[in-house]
Chains A and B, each alone.
Chain A
Amino acid sequence: MLNKSNKKIILLGNEAIVRGALESGVQFVSTYPGTPASEIGNTFFKIAEKAGVYFEFSTNEKVALEAGIGASFSGLKTLVAMKNFGLNVALDALLPFVYTGTKGATVIIVADDPSCHSSAQSEENSRGVAFLAHIPILEPSDPQECKDFVKLGFQISEKYNIPVIVRTTTRVAHQKMPVVLGATKNTKSKIQKGKFVKDPKRFITLPPRVLEMKKELLDKIEKIRNLSEKDTLRINLNSQKTAIITSGISYLYVMEALNELNLSLPVLKLNFFYPLSEKRIKDFIKKLKKVLIVEELEPFLENEVQRLAKEANCKLEVVGKKLLPEIGELKPEIVTQAIAKFANKKYSPANGRYRISVPKRYPQLCPGCPYWLVVSAIKKAVDTNKVIFGGEIGCYMLFGNPPVKLQDYLSCMGSSAGIAHGIKKASGQKIIAFVGDSSFFHAGIPALINTVFNKSNPLIIVLENETTAMTGHQPHPGAPVEPNGIKIEEIVRACGVKNVKVLDPINQGEFIKTIREFMAKPEVSVIVSKRPCIFVKK
């Protein structure tokens, strides 16, 4: 990852992002792990020291972004990485950052997960944030572009002092291909220091200055749009009346489909989702009869083209979600079918006969996972039909699958206790809320304080397994690289919780007794269930 250049090596999209950052001379990297972005942090975790890059797993994505903002304000070249839901957490810090702009060039990686392969909660399309935050968004389609677009992102950020998002999806982040390496700029093995120079006009978003900043931001976006206009790829330079506009992973499916169908429709591939290459698109659609927009999830691009067609070619038929699904990721066969229909070409997929019904195999807690012990104790301690179980994000969200079935709601990080409080206040029913150790630090603490402050009495079980297991065993504040992390029970007590016990769930008798005892308490109770993940090396 570090030294070779002018070589072709096989890289995962996420590894190519790391390489792109190194080739740009990145100096500061922060992240909170989340699939499909996790390998970015994992890779930096391994190489940062050798590469002379400061790296941290922050407590959550907002804190990671804030750390990155501080580094950028101090002049360091900065990369912050997160999955889509992390962007929601970080949004509050992101919007003002786009206003103040960067000092050290900053790229933010956001990984979406269409089809929710590794995501509960929602099928999020983070492109939408462009409309909210006015932040440039680049969309690579493969690992080579992951590397190239990260470099492009840094260049744009450098030139216009604005953070840039590089948005991937699962099939980009977890795609492998041979990538051509360039030279890395991180040749110094010593971490470089930045310097924060006071500049109130630049870093303080207080009104009325904040509205001037918005004006400056919108001006920047128009300048960057000129770059975007040049950064499109046109394939098949013939003058047919039907054509395709696409970007990101969808572009690869389009090319696959055109080969399969033996068609040579003109294709416009957009590298920027925002700011959009408006002139280029208008020019492309001017003489067309109809255009197919191939994009995953919501028809953001289709709506934009629809809008541009009103000015450029009002008779143009813009086709998109009429032929392509809005739910779930695209697949090559779906795109092939859509293009065949669009181009009036006969096509029947290679087969449809072999879809054999095999019972669904749900993901499971690993054999030997300490969470099985917690499940076992709960099933013995309470009537599970009469207790509500609050789920959350981590391995324990598998409690929702058979045979465990201890989950009655599941939302975002930190929400199990927050929602438990609301249910308690609204209904007074019995509740056990689960929260993982990494989730507890991420967003669980404010919710816990709320149960004390506003007086409700759920039982919260903190599943402390000494790692961030689901995303690939990253450290967290309770289980840092060096031993002796922050003790969860001390935080719980400091929040004003009186009923607190740290228990090893291997002691089933005591665990069962404590669950029953705590369920009867008039105030909030917390059991810290402490037993390491089987993958934690001792």
Chain B
Amino acid sequence: MQNYNSKFKINKDFNIVIVGVGGQGLITLLQIIAEAALSEGYDIKSSELHGLSQRGGSVEVHVRFGKKIYSPLIPQGKADLIFGFEAQEALRGAYFANKNTSFLVNKFIIPIPLEKSLSEEQIAKTLNSIGKRVVLLPAADICREKLGTDVVSGIYLLSLAAFKNLIPINPDSILKAIKKIIPEKYLELNVKTFDLAKKAKDV
């Protein structure tokens, strides 16, 4: 898998944009990534939004790690990975993409009130024309079917990203961070989600 000989797996900053709709748990995912990156010795910066913008509106959070990070915001076109918790929001997040960017997107549409939703085909086509590696998968459906709830879709996507080498962090570090961040009550469900992603990594 990865080369663990050097202290860091990456020489440049690694930039992750997470996009979705307020209330989908984006900040929890950000916390897990930050904690996992810290455990691997990286410097970290992240930026999130609270309050008004969280109430079901478009939400975009940033997390960056590397040797030394200054700005908490990722510059336009500088994302290495874009997590889309919602497919239409993933398109909005393309502002941060370049031709080497990977997309990992929940094939899941939350309609925008009074607007016609974009079709999954349209979204897939557009994303494929932008990024290098585009993974669109029904994480919400998978989690609902196998675990009985889709609240863990984000954890599923993140775990999958680690197993698929879309993120230069050891899956073990992600699991440790999940155990540190997720409250005791929900931990078992989240660990199960991580295991589910492990089994699905080759899909």
Q: Are B77 and A351 in contact (CB under 8 A)?
A: yes
Q: Which residues of A contact B130 (CB under 8 A)?
A: 354
Asked if B44 is an interface residue, CB under 8 A from chain A, the answer is yes
B49 touches A363 (CB 8 A): no
- Smallest CB gap from B97: residue in A: A354
Residues of B within 8 A of A362 (CB): 57, 113
Among the interface residues B21, B71, B115, which one has the most CB atoms of the partner chain A within 10 A?
B71
Taking a contact as CB atoms under 8 Å apart, the answer to whether B55 and A395 are in contact is: yes
Question: Are B57 and A363 closer than 8 Å at their CB atoms?
Answer: yes
A351 touches B76 (CB 8 A): yes
Asked whether A398 is an interface residue with its Cβ less than 8 Å from the other chain, the reply is yes
Q: Is A336 an interface residue (CB 8 A)?
A: yes
A175-B45, A354-B95, A359-B112 known; A364 vs B71 contact (CB < 8 Å): no
Stretch at the interface among A32-40, A100-108, A132-140, A522-530: A32-40
Count of interface residues, chain A, beta-carbon cutoff 8 Å: 53
Please report the C-alpha to C-alpha distance between residue A229 and residue B64 in the assembled complex, in whole angstroms.
33
Q: Give complex CA distance A299, B53 in Å.
A: 27
Contact B57 A176 (CB under 8 A): no
Find out whether the CB atom of B46 lies under 8 angstroms from the CB atom of A176: yes
* B120 interfacial by beta-carbon distance below 8 Å: no
Residues of chain A in range 46-61 having any CB-CB distance to chain B below 8 Å: none
Contact A363 B97, CB 8 Å, known A117-B49, A174-B49, A175-B47? no
Inside 8 A of A403's CB, which chain B residues have their CB? Answer: 113-114
Query: Of A74-82, A145-153, A255-263, which binds chain B?
Result: A255-263
B53 touches A363 (CB 8 A): yes
- State in angstroms the CA–CA spacing of A361 and B114 once bound together: 10
Interface code A335-350, partner B: CB below 8 Å = 1, 0 otherwise?
Answer: 0100000000000011
Interface residues of B in 91-145 (CB under 8 A from A): 91-92, 94-95, 97-98, 112-115, 118, 126, 130
Query: In the complex, what residues of A have CB within 8 A of residue B34's CB?
Result: 10, 176
Q: Is B173 an interface residue (CB 8 A)?
A: no
Residues of B within 8 A of A171 (CB): 47, 72-73
B91 in contact with A358 (CB, 8 Å): yes
Contacting A39 at CB < 8 Å: which of B50, B54, B55, B126? B50
**Contact partners of B53 in chain A: CB under 8 A:** 117-118, 363
Q: Which of A234-293 contact B (CB under 8 A)?
A: 252-253, 255-256, 259-260
Contact A349 B76 (CB under 8 A): yes
Residues of A contacting B22 in the complex (Cβ-Cβ under 8 angstroms): 363
Q: Are A117 and B51 in contact (CB under 8 A)?
A: yes
> Once bound together, how far apart are the Cα atoms of A356 and B125, in whole Å?
13
B38, B69, B70, B76: the one within 8 Å of A352 (CB): B76
- Indicate whether A355 reaches chain B with its CB closer than 8 angstroms: yes
> In the bound complex, do residue A118 and residue B49 qualify as a contact, i.e. CB atoms below 8 Å apart?
yes
Chain A residues closer than 8 Å to B88, beta-carbon distance? 358, 361
- The reply to whether B113 and A356 contact each other, CB–CB distance below 8 Å, is no
B148 close to A (CB within 8 Å): no
Chain B residues with CB under 8 A of A178: 38, 43-44
- With contacts A354-B130, A365-B55 taken as known, whether A174 is within 8 angstroms of B114 at the C-beta atoms is no
Contact of A333 (CB < 8 Å), options: B46, B49, B76, B89: B76
Residues A351 and B98 in contact in the complex (CB < 8 Å), given A176-B34, A358-B91? yes
Cβ A36 vs Cβ B35 within 8 A: no
Please indicate the chain A residues that have their CB under 8 angstroms from the CB of B52 in the complex. Answer: 35, 117-120, 363, 397, 470
> In the complex, what residues of A have CB within 8 A of residue B70's CB?
252-253, 255-256, 259
Q: Which of A137-196 contact B (CB under 8 A)?
A: 142, 170-171, 174-178
The 8 A CB mask of A19-42 against B (1 = contact, 0 = none) is 000000000000000011011000
Residue of chain B at shortest CB distance from A170 = B49
The reply to whether the CB of A230 lies closer than 8 angstroms to some CB of chain B is no
Chain A residues near B198 (CB-CB < 8 A): none
Which of A331, A356, A364, A471 is B75 in contact with, Cβ under 8 Å? Answer: A331
Shortest CB distance B15–A (Å): 11
- Is residue A472 within 8 Å, beta carbon to beta carbon, of the partner chain? yes
Shortest beta-carbon distance from B82 to chain A in Å = 10
Q: In the complex, what residue of chain B is closest to A354 when comparing beta carbons?
A: B94
Question: Known: A355-B95, A366-B56, A402-B114. Contact between A336 and B75, CB under 8 A?
Answer: yes
Q: Is the CB of B50 within 8 A of A174?
A: yes
The answer to whether the Cβ of A332 comes within 8 Å of any Cβ in the partner chain is yes
Chain B residues near A356: list those with CB within 8 A: 91-92, 94-95, 126
A170 / chain B contacts, CB cutoff of 8 Å = 49
For A355, list chain B residues within 8 Å (CB).
94-95
Per-position contact with B for A387-428: 1 when CB-CB < 8 Å, else 0?
Answer: 000000001011000110000000000000000000000000
Question: When chains A and B are docked, how far (Å) is the Cα of A397 from the Cα of B74?
Answer: 30
Q: Does B179 contact A (CB under 8 A)?
A: no
Q: How far is the CB of B95 from chain A (nearest CB, A)?
A: 6
**Residues on A with beta carbons closer than 8 Å to the beta carbon of B95:** 354-356
**In the complex where A178-B38, A356-B92, A403-B114 touch, is A363 in contact with B76 (Cβ < 8 A)?**
no
- List, in ascending order, chain B residues with CB within 8 A of A120's CB: 52
* Complex CA–CA separation, A449 to B98 (angstroms): 58
List, in ascending order, chain B residues with CB within 8 A of A252's CB. 70-72
- Residue of B44, B51, B72, B89 touching A35 (CB-CB under 8 A): B51
Beta-carbon contact of A350 and B98 below 8 Å = yes
Nearest residue (CB) in B for A9 is B38
- Tell me if B77 and A350 are in contact (CB < 8 A): yes
Cα distance A359–B58 in the bound complex, in angstroms:
10
Cα of A361 to Cα of B93 in the assembled complex, Å:
13
| Contact pick for B46, options A175, A336, A472, CB 8 Å | A175
- Interface check B164, CB cutoff 8 A: no
In the bound complex, how far is the Cα of B35 from the Cα of A12, in angstroms?
Answer: 13
Q: How far is the CB of A480 from chain B (nearest CB, A)?
A: 22
10 A-B pairs with C-beta separation under 8 A: A118-B50, A176-B72, A177-B44, A177-B69, A332-B74, A333-B75, A356-B95, A362-B57, A366-B23, A395-B55
Closest 3 CB pairs between A and B? A350-B77, A35-B51, A118-B51
| Extra inter-chain contacts (13) besides given A170-B49, A252-B71, CB under 8 Å | A8-B38, A119-B52, A142-B45, A177-B46, A354-B94, A356-B94, A356-B126, A360-B112, A361-B21, A363-B55, A363-B56, A398-B55, A472-B50
